Amino acid sequence: MFAIVRSGGKQYRVAEGDVLRVEKLAAEAGDEVDLPVLLLGGDEVRVGTPHVEDVRVVAEVIEHGRGPKLDIYKFKAKNNYRRHRGHRQAFTDVRIARIEGAGGGRKATSKADKAEAPDAKAAETKAADAKAADAKAAEPKPGAAEVDTGTAEAAATDRGGRASKRGAKSAPESGAKSAPKGAAKGTASEKAAGASRARSTSRSAAKSTSKSAGKSSSTTQGKSASKAKSASGSKAETASKGASKRASAPKKAAGGAKGAKKTDEADRSKE
């Protein structure tokens, strides 16, 4: 058997004869103290709410003491600030003498029990549904009375007479309606043939117009290209003629000057 106890804000798992160190208690060495029980374990687990009632964990105080020294040092740079302190935590060693009582609290359910509980409920509901379905199937349907043979024959004869009358009425009507249907079929076929002819004529007209348009565009393009070529040739000829004239003009002027000099020299020689 074991127990979960609380002391100094901490929880400990203890059993009889265990020695543990807890926070300092207000008791002298050799005294007995009671520790509050949160859970009792063993053959039957009991959970407290928050403590397990009628259960005591008796601990015997062995001694008091102080733990190792802890250094607390504070330092701030460039401020001449230095602080040093030490600390030793006080404690109490106790021995668990006995665990008394085994009642109170609530019984803890394990994971297996929690898993089995829904399965059992589902099985019970299925069994109840099956029993209800069997009971409904076994009950006779209300209002299922036997029908006399005479009434059945009369009903059959009435149905046969009605069917014969319907056939007689439908025969002339079908003959009268068949002729217009045939005529309608003939007119529909004629309309379809006329539509197909119109479509073929429109397609041929469109093709001829597209061909003529292509030819006319090609001829116009050829004419425009020939005109452009002739214009460019005439421009080039005129440009070459103007350049030749410009080049021959200074030559003529030089020849005229030479002729004038010769005539002056001839006149002077004659004199």
pLDDT at residue 224 above 50? yes
Evaluate whether residue 74 is within a structural domain: yes
Residue 131 binned pLDDT confidence (cut-offs 50, 70, 90): confident
Percent of the chain with pLDDT over 70: 54
Evaluate whether residue 143 is within a structural domain: no
Q: How far apart are CA 222 and CA 229, in angstroms?
A: 11
Residue 108 binned pLDDT confidence (cut-offs 50, 70, 90): very low
Res 137: pLDDT:
77
| Across 117-144, average pLDDT | 73
Mean pLDDT of the chain: 75
Evaluate whether residue 253 is within a structural domain: no
Res 80: pLDDT:
95
Which one is predicted more confidently, 36 or 102? 36
Residue 191 binned pLDDT confidence (cut-offs 50, 70, 90): confident
Residue 106 binned pLDDT confidence (cut-offs 50, 70, 90): very low
Residue 101 binned pLDDT confidence (cut-offs 50, 70, 90): confident
Tens digits of per-residue pLDDT, 18-75? 999 999 999 999 999 999 999 999 888 899 889 998 899 999 999 999 999 999 999 9
Evaluate whether residue 23 is within a structural domain: yes
Which structural domain range is residue 80 located in? 2-101
Number of domains within the chain: 1
| Across 3-27, average pLDDT | 95
Evaluate whether residue 76 is within a structural domain: yes
Evaluate whether residue 115 is within a structural domain: no
| Across 123-139, average pLDDT | 80
Evaluate whether residue 32 is within a structural domain: yes
Evaluate whether residue 250 is within a structural domain: no
Report if pTM > 0.75: no
